[in-house]
């Protein structure tokens, strides 16, 4: 059997993993349920309808190490400042890249731009084969390797590999078939996602605003646009979606304020129900979980995709310089699981804590939250530590995060 890897799931995480692992000289086969042409030839959505992804500084470092950042950078909006506030209270925390001796703390890119760039980068590598549309039906693990059965064009196909990487998302069927349990917590919240246009944009400034109903994020885009992620209780979301554009913008203005001037336009609104899911383990035999298949998070801290890229970075390091057909592989996968535990737990606690602390309207807690934001703003060491953790540098650095392949 050749020194090969099968990745199931050709979204942002699966494509990133394919590029990273192929950089080690591995032969990578990626199975994706959607036709590649559907991604490759997707028409650009209207600028007010495009989905966006927040990239932390650790993710930018990984993209730089993989040689992807030069093509991506021109299509992103940098985050140079982050403004954190609590609605109706005076406490504010301001984070900025300059105090950390960085050009930016991260960036925002539209989803369709990022996935098309990653797809093109993968297609250009001879050691990556993308098979699509491919529906995985079953997986058989043994000490010698992995056998994957999948359906393509109505016919069952077989694929053999030394390692299986599962990157198919939070509702992964493969994870379940391998006997890996998940624990799920329902936040009883949904996120309303839309792009809005403002008349007084603040270049490079991202906003995190905590309201009694839930957190609200405003992420800068190009052309006077911001990407809105507005968390609300489930019961209130449908009424927000049913509002006219004018009435929706009035409600948004009421909750966010006028730091960006007036909201003038809103694009198509969508909702996502919010749950936390965590896999009981990351490894089963010669298979490993990355991304949302391992941890699906609340979007309050914008860490989902960034946590997944750190999974990719650590897996890249754990597989370095070994023969995947050898008996060394299981111990390296256990090492991956051990190394990812602290970062994943810390990131989950950060998001969970922010949701619990800021998604209620108890008078005493309101004052304590406001005071906490003010104290953080006035304490540079604490603010620096908080900033580095938010950028993905809290628990260990992979070689890709250090700019090395």
Q: What is the CATH topology of the domain spanning 4-183+275-390?
A: FAD/NAD(P)-binding domain (3.50.50)
Q: Is the pTM of this model over 0.85?
A: yes
Write down the H helix ranges in 43-201: 57-65, 69-73, 111-123, 173-177
- Chain centroid to CA 277: 14
- The whole-number pLDDT of residue 200 equals 93
* Cα-based angle 144, 281, 391 (whole degrees, multiple of 5): 115
CA distance 105 to 57: 5
> Which residue bears the tokens 């098979």?
131
Provide the β-strand partners of residue 191.
231, 272
- The whole-number pLDDT of residue 354 equals 61
CA distance 20 to 31: 16
Residues 191 and 229: beta-carbon distance below 8 Å: yes
Torsion of CA 312, 317, 320, 322, to 10 degrees: -90
- Sequence-distant (6+) residues with CB within 8 A of 83 are 92, 93, 94, 95, 205, 206, 207, 208, 259
379: how many CB neighbours lie within 10 A of its CB? 13
Listed by start position, the domains of the chain span: 4-183+275-390
- The whole-number pLDDT of residue 374 equals 61
CB environment 130-166: b (16+ within 10 A), e (fewer): bbbbbebeebeeeeebbbbebeeeeeeeebebbbbbb
CA distance 236 to 36: 37
- The whole-number pLDDT of residue 1 equals 35
| Average pLDDT, consecutive stretches of 10 residues, N- to C-terminus, the chain (405 residues) | 83 96 95 86 69 92 95 94 78 85 92 93 95 94 93 93 94 90 86 92 90 85 90 89 96 92 93 86 96 81 84 96 92 94 81 60 54 63 66 76 80
- The whole-number pLDDT of residue 252 equals 94
Structure tokens at 46: 């209207």
CA distance 272 to 42: 22
């Amino acid at each position: 059997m050749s020194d090969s890897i099968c990745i199931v799931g050709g979204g942002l995480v699966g494509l990133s993993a394919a590029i990273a692992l192929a950089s080690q000289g591995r032969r990578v086969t990626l199975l994706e349920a959607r036709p590649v042409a559907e991604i490759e030839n997707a028409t650009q959505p209207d600028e007010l309808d495009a989905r966006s992804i927040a990239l932390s500084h650790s993710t930018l470092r990984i993209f730089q190490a993989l040689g992807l950042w030069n093509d991506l950078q021109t299509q992103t909006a940098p985050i140079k400042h982050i403004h954190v506030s609590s609605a109706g209270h005076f406490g504010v925390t301001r984070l900025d890249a300059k105090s950390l001796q960085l050009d930016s703390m991260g960036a925002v890119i539209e989803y369709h731009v990022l996935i098309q760039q990653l797809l093109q980068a993968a297609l250009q590598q001879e050691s990556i084969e993308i098979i699509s549309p491919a529906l995985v039906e079953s997986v058989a693990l043994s000490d010698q390797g992995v056998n994957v059965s999948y359906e393509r064009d109505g016919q069952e196909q077989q694929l053999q590999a030394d390692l299986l990487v599962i990157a198919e998302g939070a509702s992964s069927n493969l994870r379940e078939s391998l006997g890996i349990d998940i624990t799920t917590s329902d936040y009883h919240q949904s996120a309303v996602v839309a792009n809005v246009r403002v008349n007084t944009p603040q270049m490079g400034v991202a906003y995190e605003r905590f309201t009694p109903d839930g957190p609200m994020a405003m992420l800068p885009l190009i052309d006077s646009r911001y990407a809105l992620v507005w968390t609300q209780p489930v019961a209130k979301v449908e009424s927000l979606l049913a509002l006219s554009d004018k009435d929706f913008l009035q409600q948004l203005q009421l909750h966010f304020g006028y730091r960006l001037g007036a909201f003038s336009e809103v694009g198509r609104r969508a909702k996502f129900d919010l749950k936390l899911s965590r896999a009981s383990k990351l490894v089963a035999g010669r298979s490993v979980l990355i991304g949302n298949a391992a941890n699906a998070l609340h979007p309050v801290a914008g860490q989902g995709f960034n946590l997944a890229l750190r999974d990719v970075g650590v897996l890249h390091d754990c597989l370095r310089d070994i023969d995947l057909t050898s008996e060394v592989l299981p111990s390296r996968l256990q090492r991956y699981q051990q190394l990812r535990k602290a970062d994943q737990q810390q990131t989950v606690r950060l998001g969970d804590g922010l949701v619990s602390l800021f998604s209620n309207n108890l008078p005493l807690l309101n004052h304590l939250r406001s005071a906490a934001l003010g104290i953080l703003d006035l304490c540079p060491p604490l603010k620096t530590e908080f900033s580095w953790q938010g950028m993905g540098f809290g628990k260990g650095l992979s070689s890709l995060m250090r700019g090395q392949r």
